[in-house]
Structure 1
């Protein structure tokens, strides 16, 4: 992994410290994440937080855990998983945790994540975290949550089973998951992708969306 890559993708650089990740020319994305999301409503009926569970692909998991000591039962202890979870959350801040949200009239602002941790099951790492809203959003009307990497380095897709749940939502609320068409093989150069930043809009076209409507 080059110095430029480390600067551009701090999450990956830190998580894969001392690991050389092969990167074929013009091959994007490089990491795949299967996700589940919970929309958590407060007692006042307003949207209060998003709970995320992101399962990384097996290749990324293997790189991230290379050289880490397993326990006798084949799992990894807190001495391994806690520091990795901290690195993930700290590094994701620059990218706004890959989550964007809006109502019909305003963007949703989020606080820093809480209750974050990593689990290891079926040879895959899953990052769990809660994103509290800075200001709870009224349920009435519609809102949209988009999840994507603006640089297209990470590809997100919802789990086939129970991808989104609404917790304590007001009666009559409904949600729908909208997934983009898989990106075609890119003919763009590696230099193009290396110049993308957290402020880029390129990855928005690949956003997975949750739309919520409440009466």
Structure 2
């Protein structure tokens, strides 16, 4: 199955999950294939940065092209791409740029990316950005890293486990890619899922329980 087919299958399954539990209008409208590269510090004992790449579906990409092609030449020049990037940066700021970064279940604050770069390749919008933790993020305990849209409007997923990458991970850590089963995720979080979530999940932050994530489990050295 190709990348677009796998994304569509994931979206269909997610839509089926929502049927009967939340309003019908709540389902992804935009789809993107993601890649996340975790950059470690020179001593390989902490996370220095997260590098994100998102490749959006052709339908959404064509909509962006039509919206930002000010000179109507059917392509986006550097100035137009910069406007796209600035719009994305401003729009995602309040959502922590769709990032999930936790240590032992607690959210980690990240610095805003200095810049976001937008480009087009094969009629698809590509977005790149990098950011760093506000405080040193040591490789200790259980660290979860991923992306999710708390509004349920955008389905961003990693179509292959290799798209969640961390190089030179020390022997004190092991890595795994977690792809939650929707039914199990709801069952395991039933006590914390409020009526507000089922009535309107866009008003909550609980969509992260369905997100694919890279999990690093690190024990103390020595």
Q: The TM-score by the shorter chain falls in which range?
A: 0.7 to 0.9
CA–CA distance in structure 1, aligned partners of residues 107 and 182 of structure 2: 26
- Asked if 1:126 corresponds to 2:130, the answer is no
The 5-angstrom pairing of residues 1-215 of structure 1 reads 26=25, 28-44=27-43, 45-66=45-66, 68=69, 69=71, 76-104=76-104, 106-160=106-160, 162-171=162-171, 173-181=173-181, 196-197=202-203, 200-215=204-219
Shift of 1:169: 3.5
CA–CA distance in structure 1, aligned partners of residues 149 and 136 of structure 2: 24
Contact 1:39 / 1:49 at 8 angstroms: preserved in 2? yes
Contact 1:54 / 1:127 at 8 angstroms: preserved in 2? yes
Shift of 1:142: 2.4
Report the 3-state secondary structure (helix = DSSP H, G, I; strand = E; otherwise coil) of the residue aligned with 2:213.
Answer: strand
CA–CA distance in structure 2, aligned partners of residues 41 and 75 of structure 1: 37
Contact 1:100 / 1:147 at 8 angstroms: preserved in 2? yes
Report the 3-state secondary structure (helix = DSSP H, G, I; strand = E; otherwise coil) of the residue aligned with 1:43.
Answer: coil
Name the structure where helix makes up a greater proportion of residues: 2
Aligned length: 178
| 1:169-213 CA distance string (max 9 Å, x none) | 334533222223479xxxxxxxx65x834xx13423421211012
Relative to structure 1, is the Cα distance of residues 142 and 62 closer, same or farther in structure 2, using a 3 angstrom cutoff?
A: same
Report the 3-state secondary structure (helix = DSSP H, G, I; strand = E; otherwise coil) of the residue aligned with 1:170.
Answer: coil
TM-score normalised according to structure 1 size:
0.72
Unaligned runs of 5+ in 1: 1-24, 184-191
Contact 2:33 / 2:159 at 8 angstroms: preserved in 1? yes
Shift of 1:106: 4.0
Shift of 1:27: 5.8
Relative to structure 1, is the Cα distance of residues 105 and 62 closer, same or farther in structure 2, using a 3 angstrom cutoff?
A: closer
Contact 2:55 / 2:125 at 8 angstroms: preserved in 1? yes
Unaligned runs of 5+ in 2: 1-23, 184-198
Report the 3-state secondary structure (helix = DSSP H, G, I; strand = E; otherwise coil) of the residue aligned with 1:112.
Answer: coil
CA–CA distance in structure 2, aligned partners of residues 161 and 196 of structure 1: 27
Relative to structure 1, is the Cα distance of residues 70 and 119 closer, same or farther in structure 2, using a 3 angstrom cutoff?
A: farther
